[in-house]
Amino acid sequence: MKNVVNEVTIKLLGKSCNESFARSALSFFIMQLDPNIDELNDIKTAVSEAVTNSIVHGYRNTLGIITMNIKITDDNCVHIIIRDKGCGIENISKAREPMFTTGDSDRSGMGFTIMESFMDKLSVSSKPGKGTVVKMVKKITAKKES
């Protein structure tokens, strides 16, 4: 990782009404990189997927803290870490397959697939009973001076 130029960490209670707060806080913070609308939406979507997963799966029927850490590095990259101390994932590679879900009919099993395709890098680590950490990176293209 190149030098960190800015960083923020936010702790959220895992309530679904905080999902839009997480997206807005993220948008606000990464504005300093002047992303285009597609880049911004891609990152917002990926973060929404990860935070929703912590709420819906990690803390299913319980309420816990979700930590969102965002770093900006001098190579114009956004590094995001979403962490929960929920139930964890038994089989990560299975969980990352498209259409795989342990959720109800409101879930489609596409969250990880979307995070992977909308971001440049995705890594997932998890321990059953301990929690889950999702790390993502996306490079923001530099705008030409006009």
Q: Which residues bind other proteins (CB under 8 A)?
A: 16-17, 19-20, 23, 37-38, 41-42, 44-45, 48-49, 52, 55-56, 98, 105-108, 110-111, 113-114, 117-118
State the greatest distance between any 2 C-alpha atoms of the chain, in Å, as a whole number.
53
* Known catalytic residue at 23: no
* Known catalytic residue at 60: no
SS3 at position 94: helix
List the catalytic residue out of 41, 76, 96, 107.
Answer: 107
Q: Which two tokens stand for residue 73?
A: 């590095």
Q: How far is the CB of 116 from Mg ion (least distance, A)?
A: 12
Task: Output helix, strand, coil percentages for the chain, rounded to the nearest 5.
Answer: 35, 30, 35
Q: How far is the CB of 82 from ligand ATP (least distance, A)?
A: 8
Angle CA 21–2–52, to nearest 5: 25
Q: Are 89 and 132 in contact (CB under 8 A)?
A: yes
Q: Which is nearer to other proteins, 2 or 28 (CB)?
A: 28
* Known catalytic residue at 83: no
Catalytic positions are 49, 53, 107
